[in-house]
């Protein structure tokens, strides 16, 4: 009598193994080490002796060589902090939202979002101005001068003179600094913080309110990290953090946010050398 054909087992190598659950304390290490990064950087810049005496130059130096060294040190420091947090949590590519999505459409999307971020920053400035006037802290006629006097200390980060006079410094600022040192580093920080919050508070992470809370928390930390540049810089970067965090949440990927961040910073740096000329032209026209 013929034997019935043997049926291969459904799992030739045994049943698939589910990924081991990472202990909560490991994710807490990840959150504390990586999540506090902007605050640590902000605090370090405040307590540096050169900053306290006013003798420090721009953080990115005044020439292409200094910019490359400063950028390398910044990325190396972040890499060490990120590595410590990652070793604890072993966050996956999906945890960190590192998959590229939307194909080539990510490029125009990133550019479009950068324009939206600029509008968001403008709205934030308007609301700050309205609050100052309504609360009586600043007279309406003095508002423009007050905001100008308290504008972000751009010279603490980049040399505006070198942007106008040094082509290599200018190109590196618009590419390496805008898209890698700022865009990639800061959005990887943001997505890493999101990953820890989602693992530690899974029920909240699945709700719209929980996602909004995570976006708000990272925006506040991001803004506070820019406190050494002035209170207006803190408000502006905090509002940008709201937009960038929303982009990451909506698209489940950091890359569109990296592009949006990079395009935003590149456009801002590109305009810096032109601002004095534009202001001078405006004054000349108003005097005619």
DSSP 8-state class, residue 5: P
- The predicted model scores a pTM of 0.86
| pLDDT tens-digit readout, 52-93 | 445 567 888 999 999 999 999 999 999 999 999 999 999 999
- Looking at every residue in the chain, the average pLDDT score rounds to 86
**CA neighbours within 13 Å on the CB side: how many for 129?**
16
Q: Cβ neighbours of residue 178 under 8 Å, at least 6 residues apart?
A: 261, 262, 263, 265, 266, 269
Joined together, the tokens standing for residue 34 give 């990586």
Q: Is 166 helix (H, G, I), strand (E, B) or coil?
A: coil
| Out of 184-193, 202-211, 256-265, least confident range | 202-211
| pLDDT tens-digit readout, 163-175 | 989 999 999 999 9
Which spans in 158-201 are helix H?
160-165, 167-172, 185-200
Q: Rounded to an integer, what distance in angstroms lies between the CA atom of residue 275 and that of residue 263?
A: 18
Buried b (16+ CB within 10 A) or exposed e, 153-172: ebebbbbbebbeebeebbeb
């Amino acid at each position: 009598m013929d034997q019935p054909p043997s049926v291969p087992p459904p799992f030739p190598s045994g049943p698939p193994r589910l990924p081991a659950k990472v202990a909560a304390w490991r994710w807490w290490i990840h959150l504390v080490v990586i999540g506090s990064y902007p605050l640590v950087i902000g605090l370090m810049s405040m307590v540096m002796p050169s900053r306290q005496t006013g003798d420090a130059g721009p953080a990115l130096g005044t020439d292409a060589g200094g910019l490359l060294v400063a950028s390398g040190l910044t990325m190396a420091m972040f890499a060490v902090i990120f590595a410590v947090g990652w070793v604890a949590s072993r966050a996956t590519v999906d945890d960190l939202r590192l998959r590229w999505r939307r194909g080539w459409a990510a490029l125009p999307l990133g550019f479009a979002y950068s324009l939206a971020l600029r509008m968001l920053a403008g709205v934030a400035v308007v609301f700050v101005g309205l609050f100052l006037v309504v609360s009586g802290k600043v007279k309406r006629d003095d508002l423009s001068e007050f905001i100008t006097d308290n504008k972000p200390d751009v010279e603490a980060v980049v040399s505006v003179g070198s942007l106008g006079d040094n082509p290599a410094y200018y190109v590196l600022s618009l590419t390496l600094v805008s898209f890698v040192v700022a865009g990639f580093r800061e959005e990887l920080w943001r997505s890493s913080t999101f990953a820890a919050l989602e693992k530690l508070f899974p029920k909240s992470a699945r709700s719209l309110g929980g996602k909004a809370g995570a976006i708000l928390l990272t925006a506040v930390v991001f803004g506070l990290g820019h406190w050494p540049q002035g209170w207006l810089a803190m408000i502006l970067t905090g509002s940008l953090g709201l937009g960038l965090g929303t982009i990451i949440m909506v698209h489940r990927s950091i890359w569109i946010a990296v592009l949006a961040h990079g395009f935003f910073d590149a456009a801002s740096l590109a305009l810096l050398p032109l601002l004095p000329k534009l202001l001078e032209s405006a004054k000349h026209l108003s005097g005619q």
